[in-house]
Amino acid sequence: MKKITLLGVLLTTLAASVVRLNAQSLSGLVSLWHGESNVVDSVSGQNGTLQAQQVSYTAGEVGQAFNISGGIATIPDSTSLEPTNITVQAWVKAASPGAYRYIICKARGAGGVSYAFYTGSTGGAIFFVNLLNGTAGDTFAPSPSAPTTIWDNNWHQLTGTFDGVTSHLYVDGAEVGSGLATTNTNPIDYSSPQPLIFGDYQVARGLPYLGGLDEVKIFGRAL
């Protein structure tokens, strides 16, 4: 009979913990775009296309990544991209992209948004959702802004969540803060749904994000 060492027990326990954590971290995963020289969704087949030549591929946080320099990638609308509770997660890398630049956007109607990562008025990073049937001032549920120091030309992970009431933003796993609409408790507005877009606000473009984007994930729950 082999002697079981304390080190062996510890390693076995650690390995089991890692497996459990990985399973938990992927629970509810709807879509995942690795950016490995394509816009293929490796989870549910929500494959996209490049709408302009100003999207290439570069070394990413994991393998390759999207290198966005004025173009966009679009993923056709799907009910799987319209969950009631949501988490959007991605690695980003840029140097001072500027204010009101859209990194990831679920477009709606001719000029609306259901949810998005964008840089906001300060040029940092914000996650927000727009809620259904609100009045002026109570449809917008934004997180606080991450500082502009995230744009240091290194990879950083953004995670935005909405649990049906409150939006949260995390940078590299640490919470920046949370926010909610003033009085509106309705769900996310998915009326007149349009594509999910990497790199801008709408298909027509106009508020481009210039930088790297990698490992884009959509979860149908608030992590």
Which CATH number characterizes residue 193's domain? 2.60.120.200
Q: Is residue 70 part of a domain?
A: yes
Q: Which residue has the tokens 């990698």?
A: 214
Q: Is 8 contained in some domain?
A: no
d(CA 200, CA 209): 6
Q: What is the pLDDT of residue 18?
A: 34
Q: Give 13: exposed, middle or buried? Use CB within 10 Å, 0-12, 13-18, 19+.
A: exposed
Question: Residue 19's pLDDT is what?
Answer: 33
DSSP-assigned letter for residue 53: S
* pLDDT number for residue 134: 76
Instruction: Specify the pLDDT at position 185.
Output: 86
Q: Is 9 contained in some domain?
A: no
Count Cβ atoms within 10 A of the Cβ of residue 102 and give its class: 0-12 exposed, 13-18 middle, 19 or more buried.
Answer: buried
Please indicate, yes or no, if residue 22 is contained in any of the structural domains.
no
Asked if the structure places residue 200 within a domain, the reply is: yes
Q: Give the span between the Cα atoms of 188 and 139, in whole angstroms.
A: 9
Q: Is residue 186 domain-resident?
A: yes
- What pLDDT is recorded for position 7? 41
Q: In which domain, by residue range, is 161 found?
A: 30-219
pLDDT of residue 25: 59
pLDDT at residue number 198? 98
Tallying the residues shown for the chain, one arrives at 223
The closest alpha carbon to 141, from 177, 165, 173, 110, belongs to: 165
Q: Residue 209: its pLDDT value, please?
A: 97
pLDDT of residue 171: 98
Tens place of pLDDT per residue across the chain (223 aa):
444 454 443 344 334 333 333 434 578 999 999 999 999 999 999 999 998 788 999 999 999 999 999 999 999 999 999 999 999 999 999 999 999 999 999 999 988 999 999 999 999 999 999 999 877 667 999 999 999 999 999 999 999 999 999 999 999 999 999 998 888 889 999 999 999 999 999 998 899 999 999 999 999 999 9
Number of independent structural domains in the chain? 1
In a domain, 19, yes or no: no
How much is the pLDDT for 217?
98
Maximum separation of any 2 CA atoms in the chain, in Å: 73
Name the pTM for this structure. 0.87
User: Within a domain: residue 12?
Assistant: no
DSSP-based three-state secondary structure for 127: strand
